[in-house]
Amino acid sequence: MGHVPILDRLRDGLTRTKRRLVDRFDEIVRRADGQTSGGDAIDVDTVEALEELLLSADVGVAATGRIVSAVAGRARHGESLRDLVKGEILEIFGAVAPVAPGVGGREGEDPRQSNGPPSRVVLVVGVNGTGKTTTVGKLANLLKASGKRPLVCAADTFRAAAVEQLAIWAERADVEIIRSGDGADPAAVVFDAIQAGQARGCDPILIDTAGRLHTRANLMSELDKIRRVAWRASEGAPHEVLLVLDATVGQNGLTQAREFTSAAGVTGVVLTKLDGTAKGGVAVAIAHDLKLPIRYVGIGEGMEDLIPFSPQEYVDALFQQQW
Amino acid sequence: MFESLSTRIQGAFKTLRGEVRLTPDHVEAALREIRLALLEADVNFKVVKAFIDRVRDRAMDQAVLRSLTPGQQVIKLVRDELLALFGDTEGGLTKDAPTPRVVLLLGLQGAGKTTTSGKLAKWLVRQGRHPLMVSTDVRRPAAVEQLSVLGRKADIRVHAPETMDPVARASGALAEAKAMGFDTVIVDTAGRLHIDDDLMGELQAISDAVHPSDLLYVADAMTGQDAIKSAGEFHRRVGVTGVVLTKLDGDARGGAALSVVSVVGVPIAFVGSGEQLEDLELFHPDRIVSRMLGMGDMLSLIEKAEQAIDKDEAAQLEEKLRKNEFTLDDFRSQLKALKRMGPLESVLGMIPGLGDLKQAAEHKPDEKQLGRVEAILSSMTADERRDHSVMNGSRRKRIAAGSGTSVEDVNRLLKQFTEMRRMLQTMGRGGMPGAGAGMKLPKMAHGLRPGSAPRGAGSGKKRKKGGPWGLMRTR
Ligand SMILES: Nc1nc2c(ncn2[C@@H]2O[C@H](COP(=O)(O)OP(=O)(O)OP(=O)(O)O)[C@@H](O)[C@H]2O)c(=O)[nH]1
Ligand SMILES: Nc1nc2c(ncn2[C@@H]2O[C@H](COP(=O)(O)OP(=O)(O)OP(=O)(O)O)[C@@H](O)[C@H]2O)c(=O)[nH]1
Ligand SMILES: [Mg+2]
Ligand SMILES: [Mg+2]
């Protein structure tokens, strides 16, 4: 079989630390597979180990319970337990609505054509410190590499040096940036960026917003204001709202997804910091409960460390037998 | 969002209303609820396991089994165990440190190290100290600039040398502090993964160069199961002396706090409660335990109550509760005090045990309703308020007319009052953890030896389908 670069990247990110987890899983699988071929139900130790495996990946109590009972219920038919678990998780990801046109928009369109469609506007949101600004930088780089002409907008006018941070990323990725002073109205910067972006023929327009906890009602309504202003600047904007989720997050991730979706109309998730030991399993619960697709995963602090999410690769990488 | 731990424990015991004897199986059912609730609160599953075993040993005690309020007893047990884990700490920095004291902030990416550096500097100034800050994060874009901006905002001196060598920057700051008479040096470090050997080595080098007396591990309160791996590894590499739990102003249950503390075995020093430079507080174990149990912030309730309620009055009230002499008069003065404490809903949320009540009673008492209640109470005579048993039909009619309400309203109020009285009495008798009399319960004697406790479903080696975690749906 040929070399699949993306799979390799993801594998690299996951390998470092998943090894022990996988060894453990293999042990379970071997035991369980040996047993199930005999036509027996799985014993309680296996169920415990399986539950622990999923819990330790932050899949959460409810989703773990669902996966384990589904698998345990079918295991007696002599199937491999590993495949059953993978299949179950894939099914959850699979039930998510088919992916709409990606962040970069439809292929082969040149926004600079005089009466072409308006630039796509992508709003990047999330709680504090998850990796929004970094993701905007990486995304700009990714899109530029694929022949687009992205523009980034520094709408985090609150956090110390957030604008400078994005400016450095814009420089690295060699893309244009629209910025304004600290303390400026973020919605006003967004308006300017969309207008400037359209005028200059930039597409897409990537908007970095300040981190905010979903419990802060006033900050959440600021997102709503940004949305309204974006629409005023360009009908239909924002076309995409990406929620940036830290893979180390626990069950609060589900609440984040729910709250940001209701306040800001999230259309997709970016799962960052997958290069650590955390597995971001709450994404499984998010896919199940909210039917939100995961668009990209972050696997490092470098500019190249963002790859499109593929459920199959994610699950394969989690449950790979040998690396 | 999550069902509170205390609600769940109560629920586990509710099913057996009417049964005469509690059995270990009932306790086992409650333990299962505790286990699930802790997992949902993101406590690491290994930590949960050890915790449940400890609680089981104590919960199988005869005193719990015989208790009239087993739910309350178990909640109290859980609370005690949690508090024991968090330790008897007042938070803050280590007690003895040379001058200048060096504080190193470390942790994963985006945890809040740089922001906490600024907050800590401000906190130190409030303590009459003279801190100096330095950033050793030469990797993340604009990280150095971020600390400088915070320094300007907080009016704190930031050591900003030309060199981009993290170790040299830290040593330089220490030298400047010594030369210029700063008594504390706050060293901000770059976020790093615990499995990044090179960067962990860099952190060790920084630490070796400036010999910090405080190595604060900055952890995001929203962290899940990974918390113990990262904290454990940072601790192993550089030795953590305290934890700063950030972003606690959100609605995370803070289970990660328990995981981290169990693993590194050091107290939580501070909590971050917002993005502003003022939002740093000393850690209070009580508060996080209440948060985990879903019992509301008891301490702020007490603080508020102290402002609103007269001390003698409170003592008298407690006495009355104990003797079941709580009257409509007392009810009225309590209502008045409640009103002084702020919006009713937020007050109810803070009262231990009433969190559930608030949930159960969909009909939240609104302020208008309160006004009606007050009108009814003022239309009663002093005698009636002192002893509600004199209330007959004609008195009720008179009160209704006098207060501009209906007899049904009066009846409802009286019914609620008697219910409340009954509830307050059970609470007063010692069930309620943390509140008033509950705190003064004599410590329970240990009945069963550790390990002799009967094990419940799942731990046997029987061929059962349900896992010990009890996550599987029963079909
Ligand atoms: N290891 C790793 N670190 C990452 C990844 N993505 C972002 N980071 C780091 O996480 C930290 C926070 O990233 P930011 O991009 O500043 O996060 P943010 O969401 O913009 O933060 P606020 O704007 O303050 O809310 C930085 O140190 C980033 O370098 C990733 O995929 N892997
Ligand atoms: N709501 C809230 N936000 C916080 C708190 N502490 C820090 N933050 C925010 O979390 C984000 C990350 O904070 P930083 O101080 O940049 O985190 P860091 O650990 O220095 O990040 P890196 O240096 O990139 O690893 C910022 O948006 C902060 O404003 C807190 O207690 N509450
Ligand atoms: Mg940012
Ligand atoms: Mg920092």
B191 within ligand 2 shell (Cβ under 6 A):
yes
Is the domain of A256 the same as that of A172?
yes
- Of B106, B109, B137, B275, the residue with max ligand 1 atoms within 8 A of its CB, to mutate for a pocket test, comes to B109
- Tell me the residue type at B140: R
pLDDT of residue B341: 57
pLDDT of residue B28: 84
Q: Residue A43 belongs to what domain range?
A: 5-94
Q: Choose the mutation target among A157, A251, A282 for the interface with B, i.e. most B CBs under 10 Å.
A: A251
Residues of B in contact with A65 (CB under 8 A): 471-473
Which residue, among B152, B148, B157, has the nearest Cα to B181 in the 3D structure? Answer: B157
Confidence of residue B301 (pLDDT cuts 50, 70, 90): very low
**DSSP summary character for residue A249:** B
Is the domain of A142 the same as that of A260?
yes
Contact across the interface for A127 and B247, Cβ inside 8 Å:
yes
| Ligand 3 centroid, distance to B243 Cα (angstroms) | 24
pLDDT of residue A211: 98
Count the neighbouring beta carbons within 10 Å of the beta carbon of residue A16: 15
Q: Which token pair is B276? A: 């502003």
Residues of A in contact with B140 (CB under 8 A): 165, 301
Nearest to A165 among B141, B224, B229 (CB): B141
Which of A27-36, A98-107, A240-249, B72-81 has maximum average pLDDT? A240-249
Q: Is the distance from CB of B316 to CB of B377 less than 8 angstroms? A: no
Give the nearest chain A residue to B150 (CA atoms).
Answer: A160
Q: What is the CATH number of the domain that holds A31?
A: 1.20.120.140
* Rounded Cα–Cα distance for residues B81 and B54 (Å): 8
A280 within ligand 1 shell (Cβ under 6 A):
no
How do strand B280-282 and strand B268-272 relate by DSSP bridges? antiparallel
Using one digit for the tens of pLDDT, what is the confidence trace for B165-205? 999 999 999 999 999 999 999 999 999 999 999 999 999 99
B147 within ligand 2 shell (Cβ under 6 A):
no
| Ligand 4 centroid, distance to B110 Cα (angstroms) | 7
B115 within ligand 2 shell (Cβ under 6 A):
yes
Atom number, ligand 1, closest to the C-alpha of residue A127:
25
pLDDT of residue A30: 53
- Of A249, A301, A306, A309, the residue with max ligand 1 atoms within 8 A of its CB, to mutate for a pocket test, comes to A301
Compute the count of residue pairs across chains A and B with CB atoms less than 8 Å apart.
Answer: 194
Using one digit for the tens of pLDDT, what is the confidence trace for B240-252? 999 999 999 988 8
Please indicate, yes or no, if residue A195 is contained in any of the structural domains: yes
Residue identifier of the C-alpha nearest atom 29 of ligand 2: B275
Of the two residues B437 and A16, the one the predictor is more confident about is A16
The residue assigned the tokens 């079909």 is: B475
A195 sits in which H/E element: helix A186-200
Nearest to A250 among B36, B143, B255 (CB): B255
Using one digit for the tens of pLDDT, what is the confidence trace for B429-473? 433 333 332 222 222 222 222 222 232 333 333 333 445 555 544
| Ligand 4 centroid, distance to A284 Cα (angstroms) | 30
B142 within ligand 1 shell (Cβ under 6 A):
no
Helix boundaries (H) for B211-275:
227-238, 255-264
Contact across the interface for A127 and B222, Cβ inside 8 Å:
yes
Give the nearest chain B residue to A71 (CA atoms).
Answer: B472
Q: Kindly report the nearest CA distance between residue A213 and chain B, in angstroms.
A: 6
Of the two residues B452 and A235, the one the predictor is more confident about is A235
* Rounded Cα–Cα distance for residues B273 and B115 (Å): 11
A215 within ligand 2 shell (Cβ under 6 A):
no
For the beta sheet containing B131-135, the strands, ordered from the edge strand earlier in sequence to the opposite edge, are B157-159, B131-135, B184-188, B101-106, B214-220, B242-246, B268-272, B280-282
Please indicate, yes or no, if residue A308 is contained in any of the structural domains: no
* Rounded Cα–Cα distance for residues B91 and B242 (Å): 9
B143 within ligand 2 shell (Cβ under 6 A):
yes
Is the domain of A262 the same as that of A125?
yes
- For A73, residues 6+ apart whose C-beta sits below 8 A from its C-beta are B475
Confidence of residue B373 (pLDDT cuts 50, 70, 90): confident
Weakest-pLDDT range from B27-41, B143-157, B298-312: B298-312
Weakest-pLDDT range from A228-237, B45-54, B68-77, B349-358: B349-358
Q: Is the distance from CB of A69 to CB of B472 less than 8 angstroms? A: yes
Is the domain of A262 the same as that of A128?
yes
Please indicate, yes or no, if residue A286 is contained in any of the structural domains: no
* Rounded Cα–Cα distance for residues A67 and B464 (Å): 17
| φ, ψ dihedrals at B188, nearest 5° | -85, 140
| Ligand 4 centroid, distance to A58 Cα (angstroms) | 25
Please indicate, yes or no, if residue A36 is contained in any of the structural domains: yes
Is the domain of A76 the same as that of A198?
no
Is the domain of A36 the same as that of A77?
yes
Contact across the interface for B475 and A73, Cβ inside 8 Å:
yes
Give the nearest chain A residue to B466 (CA atoms).
Answer: A44
Domains of chain B in start order, with CATH, are 5-86 (1.20.120.140), 101-293 (3.40.50.300), 298-440 (1.10.260.30)
Nearest to B247 among A16, A128, A278 (CB): A128
Which 25-64 residues of chain A touch chain B by CB within 8 A?
41-45, 47-48, 50-52, 55-58, 60-61, 64
pLDDT of residue A42: 57
- Tallying the residues shown for chain A, one arrives at 323
Please indicate, yes or no, if residue A305 is contained in any of the structural domains: no
Is the domain of A227 the same as that of A132?
yes
Count the neighbouring beta carbons within 10 Å of the beta carbon of residue A62: 17
pLDDT of residue B424: 59
Is the domain of A217 the same as that of A254?
yes
- Tell me the residue type at B199: L
pLDDT of residue B210: 98
Look at the alpha carbons of B163, B165, B168, B173 in this order and tell me if their dihedral is positive or negative: positive
Is the domain of A77 the same as that of A151?
no
Please indicate, yes or no, if residue A280 is contained in any of the structural domains: no
Burial of A240 (0-12, 13-18, 19+ CB in 10 A): buried
Is the domain of A17 the same as that of A80?
yes
Q: What angle do CA B451, B454, B459 make, to 5 degrees?
A: 90
How many domains does chain A contain in total?
Answer: 2
Residue identifier of the C-alpha nearest atom 6 of ligand 1: A131
The whole-angstrom distance between residue B375's C-alpha and the CA centroid of its chain comes to 37
Contact across the interface for A252 and B250, Cβ inside 8 Å:
yes
Residue identifier of the C-alpha nearest atom 1 of ligand 2: B274
Q: What is the CATH number of the domain that holds A249?
A: 3.40.50.300
Q: Which token pair is B344? A: 């009713």
Please indicate, yes or no, if residue A103 is contained in any of the structural domains: no
Is the domain of A235 the same as that of A148?
yes
pLDDT of residue A305: 96
| Ligand 2 centroid, distance to B110 Cα (angstroms) | 6
Weakest-pLDDT range from A36-50, A134-148, A164-178, B85-99: A36-50
Which residue, among B138, B83, B117, B246, has the nearest Cα to B185 in the 3D structure? Answer: B117
Is the domain of A181 the same as that of A76?
no
Give the nearest chain B residue to A210 (CA atoms).
Answer: B275
Give the nearest chain B residue to A137 (CA atoms).
Answer: B141
- Identify the nearest ligand to the CA of B196 by its number: 1
Using one digit for the tens of pLDDT, what is the confidence trace for B83-99? 888 887 778 999 889 99
- Tallying the residues shown for chain B, one arrives at 475
Q: Which token pair is A209? A: 């917003």
Please indicate, yes or no, if residue A112 is contained in any of the structural domains: no
Give the nearest chain B residue to A75 (CA atoms).
Answer: B465
pTM to 2 decimal places: 0.77
Q: Is the distance from CB of B195 to CB of B178 less than 8 angstroms? A: no
| φ, ψ dihedrals at A203, nearest 5° | -160, 125
Which 87-116 residues of chain A touch chain B by CB within 8 A?
none
Contact across the interface for B275 and A127, Cβ inside 8 Å:
no
Q: Kindly report the nearest CA distance between residue A98 and chain B, in angstroms.
A: 29
Buried residues in B6-31 as b, exposed as e (16+ CB within 10 A): bbbbbebbeeeeeeeebebebbbbbb
Q: Looking at the DSSP assignment, which residues form a beta bridge with residue A177?
A: A152
